[in-house]
Structure 1
Amino acid sequence: MRTFKHLAFVLCASIGVSGFAQKMPAIKQTSFKKDTVSIVKFGAVSDGIFLNTKSINDAINQVNANGGGVVKIPRGFWLTGPIVLKSNVNLYLETDAFLQFTNDFNQYKIIETNWEGLGAFRNESPIYAKNQTNIAITGGGVIDGWGDAWRYVKKSKLTESQWKNKIASGGVLSDDKKSWFPSEKFAVGAKTKNAGVIADGATYEKALAYKDFLRPNLIVLEKCSQILLEGVTFQNSAAWNVHPLMSDNIVIRKLKIKNPWYAQNGDGLDLESCSSVLIEDTYFDVGDDAICIKSGRNEEGRKRGMPTQNVLVRNCVVYQAHGGFVVGSEMSGGARNIHVENCTFIGTDIGIRFKTTRGRGGIVENITLNNINMKDIPGEAILFDMYYEAVDPVPQNGEKRQPPKVEYKAVDETTPQFRNISINNVVVSGAHKGIFLRGVPEMSVKNIKMENITIQAEQGIDCQEAENISFKNVNIFATSKDAPVYILNSKNISFNGLNYNKTPLLMDIQGGRSKNVTINKADTKNADKTFEAAYGADSKVITIK
């Protein structure tokens, strides 16, 4: 068995738009003794029936007590309950090892933990570690959370035949008959406001009444340091899949992270309040956001005050997901110094997704994305939205949504911010909308640079409540009859090199707070009319060079 040591790296890149350079600190490496024990030595049985919880945990505990080493899960089908990782232990799955977590909910205790950025009671995660150092899960096997037993399913996300089969499998229907719940306890939780959230009055005793509703994340690594996840497949999680929480010095490499597309809260990777992280060569195909940056929600997240920072993401591929690379919406502790490069998003609802809402607070800044490919994006290719609501990013057939109510509010600690973000070298083949930036009246999306962008989409660029936005060498080929560029109450918007389809109107500018829009090196002859200024916008707002 080899010793697992991984290259520390330093990211020396210009991050953000201010011209400053940030050096990423070297990641502390994992290192394990070669001593290896098999779970078979502790009585584990590979038949998919025998519950191996004690055998696996006994093996981990002994290796930890002996100073560390490798716990081997051989090829075979291993059924188990929750596993607790310990310091200096590498849980190694041989190729063709299948680790199946049980669908017996009674095997999972209710514990006090964290859910979507808030302190909460939940069922313990199938794999969990807290306050541990130098831990790993490696190899070539599969880890399955049996998520279908836990999750509710919306009727709108299944075919008629699938829906009938789901009902026939047991469980109960919601009152409106539009959702399937796995049990009566789950239905109770679905009707309980903020079920499990401690700040809203949840207790252990109350949580017992709706235990099945409190779906666990597949793997939670809380307040740990020196983490390696490499080579394995994490799939079929009850809620989020991989969740490092308040941890540091993390390497995530060559994973496959999978969930059904209809999996509610079926995120791939949620990196929450973590620092010094490398994510590379990893494949995602999930039911919610894929690569997601978080740092706590609202007052609790601000009080925690732990931004996710110093992160490098590279060479990843995302298939089905709500978003390919995502920041938010629980980003109240902030996010900064993050670099994403050489990634491909195929069929994700949104490609690059920054989302937040009033009440979150937090500053998201100094983020770069470079060399990103996208294909067949049903929603926006690039999105900044400060009016996030917890709904699917793409409306279902026949679903009607009202635009948010626009009103000015005072700036305070609850006001979120997106600023100093650079997106370069992006190619998009097929999207509903190319670029959408939407701040709130009191806090614009600020200081965004986009350079060398080529997008084929139905609609082009939409800037609302944005400030200091620079577009350089941007090609927008939109099929809609609307103007390819729409600007509302935004200022200091510059286009230097803009190509577009022949169109009756190039730029539609609206709102009395729109100011200083400049166009340079654009073939304005390709538009019958260069711009229109309306609804309070002055015709002097635009300068054409």
Structure 2
Amino acid sequence: MSVIKIRFGVAVLLLAGCFTSQAQVRQYSWQHLPQVSKPSFKKDTINILKYGAKADGITLNTTSINKAIAACSAKGGGVVLIPQGLWLTGPLVMKSNVNLHVSRAALLQFTDDKSQYKLVEGNYEGHAAVRNQSPISGTDLTNIAITGEGIIDGHGEVWRAISKERLTEAEWKKLVASGGVVSENGKSWYPSESYVSGLKTPGAGVIGNGKTLKDNEPFKDFFRPNMLVLTNCKKVLLQGVTLQNSPAWDIHTLLCEDLTVQNARVRNPWNAQNGDGIDVESCRNVLIEGSTFDAGDDGICIKSGRDEEGRKRGKPTENIIVRDNVVYRAHGGFVIGSEMSGGARNIFVSNCTFIGTDIGLRFKTTRGRGGVVENIFIKDIAMKDILHEAILFDMYYGGKSPGEDDNVNDQVVVPVTEATPSFRKFYVDNVVCNGAEKALMIRGLPEMGIKDIHIENSTFKTVKGADVIEAQDVFLKNIHLESKETSPLINVQNSSSITFDHITYGDTQLLLKISGKKSQQIKLLNTDASKAKNKVEFGSGAAENSLTGLK
């Protein structure tokens, strides 16, 4: 078989008849990873001291550093050096062919003076939106980098609202004493009256409603910036640096190509509102490796636009490698969605560890998004102390599914349209989870089930076992479930072509519960059901002949 570049996708190879088994699909895919091109730079170095920068923690060095960046780019590129010291600055704008090098023990501190950040037309959570200028930004650039082992701090605490329950009593008192506005019920703190005005104004910051940037000035503080935003850039390198304490998302790359993130550290407080680690949106050819993430929201997140706006853009996030990373506290360790309307495909995640995240592997969407997420390959994942699900596929993000109260929905009342999202062709191998509320949740829509999910060679020590709701073609093989609540250990609702092959488990009250008229062709292979006190229970219209292989 001739080598076919991964950008054509595994689906093309399957249609061409190149593979006869799912194992061949996985093997070929891992052997032919996407290729990511890195930038290169002239060795010429400009020290920001040359342009009058002062490391006194008082002088605002915005002009000095931006002049150094512009001069470096104008001369054909090279390195802009930020030496050791405390460098106070306002927004910085990257230029092509520039490597902004933050030296070891240098602290690039962005100012808490919000007047330094002008309102701009930007993008937030998949929509065009009014934002404050990001601390670091770049648009339509080629060959750029931020490197070094220094620290870049976004002073995010002056931008973010926070609820009282997320702070200790001492922290709350200190925050209230600093200024800002406390809500009428005394449960929330807001940075300013301007923030509160934006919060209370419907449509504040929406682009395309006839309002200008000037019209949004009364709500300026409400439009928290993402700290590093790179838009439509090619050959980007983020290496070694620590980016921390962002007003909102820490790193946001939009419509970029050939992005490499290596040995970086991304830190936001656990209680930081919308404090994502990195959001890769509508990008292609991306490598994220050897990096560490602490986040107030999702850790490593893949997006591609939201709803109709994202579908019109039509730019999937594709050809992504995520490997050798650690994610501490975050809403999700590795995440796709929920803004995935342009689609996501050909993504490879391996050798990652998640410690204390809300969810480990998190795939989320909802009606109205549209978009197809497919050809996702994951292997060698370790998890510890996960608060909720170790692995979650959820098409009811932000809503409630019919299965949450153990009810079964047998009527499809919602038509399939371009706004119907799709999850399919996920291949997961060798996940070990020690501690989680639930091992696995697959929850599709009645009108569009989650399809073609393969999970193999994995061990879960959790409170609850697995739910498979509104899904088709799910294969669980060589899975060990060590769960405290075991009635049932595995719950299947309105799902078909489900195969459980060599499932092992501890003491179990009820091994398998099958519900719903659409539950069909469920196989239990190479599994000793006699260890369970009760083998199977059928309910809500599920037929007994929907299950085969029970022994």
1: CA distance between counterparts of 2:546 and 2:88?
Answer: 66
Q: Per-residue displacement from partner, 1:1-25 (whole Å, max 9, x unpaired)?
A: xxxxxxxxx9899969585445444
> For residues 195 and 425 of structure 1, do their structure 2 counterparts lie closer, same or farther at Cα, with a shift above 3 Å needed?
same
The partner residue of 1:90 within 89, 99, 116 is 99
Selected match of 1:214 from 211, 223, 231 = 223
- 1:425 is aligned to 430
Match of 2:461 in 1: 456
Q: Is residue 181 of structure 1 aligned with residue 190 of structure 2?
A: yes
Greater displacement, 348-357 / 151-160: 151-160
Matches within 5 A, 1:244-259: 244-259=253-268
1:544, distance to aligned residue in structure 2 (A): 1.4
- Please say which of residues 147-156 and 321-330 is displaced more in the overlay: 147-156
Q: How many Å separate the matches in 2 of 1:341 and 1:470?
A: 20
Match of 2:141 in 1: 132
TM-score by length of 1: 0.94
- The 8 Å contact of residues 12 and 24 in structure 1, kept in 2 or not, is answered as no
- Taking a change above 3 Å as real, the CA distance of residues 76 and 166 of structure 1, as seen in their structure-2 partners, is same
2:498–2:523 contact (8 Å) kept in structure 1: yes
Offset, 1:483:
1.1
Q: Is it true that 1:190 corresponds to 2:202 in the alignment?
A: no
Quick check: 1:276 aligned with 2:285? yes
The 3-state SS of whatever aligns with 1:58 is helix
* 1:528 aligned residue: 533
Partners of 1:443 and 1:69 in 2: CA distance? 51
* SS of aligned partner of 2:39: coil
CA distance in 2, matches of 1:468, 1:294: 25
Residue pairs, 1:278-427, within 5 angstroms: 278-389=287-398, 408-427=413-432
Is contact 2:325–2:351 with CA below 8 Å preserved after alignment?
yes
Quote how far apart the aligned CAs of 1:161 are: 2.2
Asked whether the 8 Å contact 1:408–1:440 carries over to 2, the reply is no
CA distance in 2 between counterparts of 1:460 and 1:521 reads 19
What does residue 435 of structure 1 align with?
440
Tell me the residue number matched to 2:250. 241
What is the aligned length? Answer: 527
Q: CA deviation at 1:199?
A: 4.2
Q: Give the stretch that moved more between structures: 227-236 or 503-512.
A: 503-512
Q: Distance in 2 between matches of 1:210 and 1:63?
A: 36
The answer to whether residue 527 in structure 2 is matched with residue 518 in structure 1 is: no
> Structure 1 residue 491 and structure 2 residue 502: aligned?
no
Q: Given residue 103 of structure 1, which amino acid in structure 2 is its aligned partner?
A: D
* Alpha-carbon separation, structure 2, partners of 1:296 and 1:11: 23
CA distance in 2, matches of 1:38, 1:240: 29
Conservation of the 8 A alpha-carbon contact between 1:430 and 1:456: yes
Matched to 2:512, the amino acid is M
Task: Decide whether the 8 Å contact of 1:152 with 1:179 is kept in 2.
Answer: yes
The 10-residue stretch of structure 1 (517-526 or 369-378) with the greater mean CA deviation from structure 2? 517-526
Match of 2:17 in 1: none
Give the 3 Å change call, closer, same or farther, for CA 126–447 of structure 1 in structure 2: same
Q: Percent identity?
A: 51
CA distance in 2, matches of 1:119, 1:203: 13
Q: Quick one: distance in 2 between partners of 1:431 and 1:194?
A: 39
Letter in 1 for 2:413: Y
Q: Distance in 1 between matches of 2:532 and 2:486?
A: 12
After superposition, give the CA deviation of every residue in 1:62-89 in whole Å (9 maximum; x if it has no partner): 0100000100000000000000000000
Amino acid at match of 2:453: I
Residue 123 in 1 paired to residue 128 in 2? no
Task: Give 1:494's aligned amino acid.
Answer: T
Structure 2: any 5+ residue segments left out of the alignment?
12-21
Q: Which residue of 1 aligns with 2:547?
A: 542
Per the alignment, do residues 11 and 414 of structure 1 end up closer, same or farther by CA in structure 2, a change over 3 Å counting? closer
Alpha-carbon RMSD: 2.0
Give the whole-Å Cα distance in 1 for the aligned partners of 2:209 and 2:360: 34
CA distance in 1, matches of 2:407, 2:266: 34
Counterpart residue number, 1:397: none
After the TM superposition, which of the residue ranges 345-354 and 534-543 deviates more from structure 2? 534-543
Contact between 1:121 and 1:203, CA under 8 Å: does it hold in 2?
Answer: no
Give the corresponding residue for 1:102: 111
SS of 1:303's equivalent in the other structure is helix
Q: 1:53-68 counterparts in 2 under 5 A?
A: 53-68=62-77
In structure 1, how many angstroms separate the alpha carbons of the residues matched to 2:324 and 2:7?
A: 18
CA contact (8 A) 1:284 1:318 kept: yes
1:197 is displaced (CA, Å) by 1.9
Counterparts of 2:111 and 2:252, CA distance in 1: 20
Q: CA deviation at 1:198?
A: 1.2
Q: Which stretch of the first structure deviates more once superposed, 69-78 or 159-168?
A: 159-168
CA contact 1:15–1:367 (8 Å) conserved in 2: no
Distance 1:532 1:199, change over 3 A: farther
**Is the contact made by 1:15 and 1:339 (CA closer than 8 Å) also made in structure 2?**
no
Q: Does 1:468 align with 2:473?
A: yes
Scaled by the length of structure 2, the TM-score of the pair is 0.93
